[in-house]
Amino acid sequence: MGLLSTIVVGLIAGLLASWIMKAKTGVFVDLLLGVVGAILGGWISSLLTGSDLVTGFNLTSILVALGGAIVVIFIYRLLKR
């Protein structure tokens, strides 16, 4: 997956994850955590399945990035306490 599509998918996943987790961190932090979550989700999914599930701008990529973003927001909340 290219860098631009990773960023776009991460931005979408960050906003969705923030909405799901009811995070009150601000738009910029949500977007940043979403991009980190997209990278983390892609890495974890490639470890578990052996293939790259984040292949561009599609539903599978968004769902994998969303899972990663939720994990990143959860870790962010633990570290912020």
Q: DSSP of 10-79, one letter per residue?
A: HHHHHHHHHHHHT--S-HHHHHHHHHHHHHHHHHHHHHHHSS----SSSHHHHHHHHHHHHHHHHHHHHH
Mean pLDDT calculated for residue range 9-28: 87
pLDDT at 1: 52
For residue 36, the Cα-to-chain-centroid distance in whole angstroms is 6
Rg (CA), the chain: 12
Say how many domains are in the chain. Answer: 1
Quote the tokens at residue 22.
């009811």
pLDDT at 6: 80
> Rounded distance, CA 47 to CA 25, Å?
30
Q: How confident is the model over 30-81, as pLDDT tens digits?
A: 889 888 988 888 888 889 988 877 778 889 888 999 999 999 999 998 998 8
pLDDT at 69: 92
Residue 23: domain span: 3-80
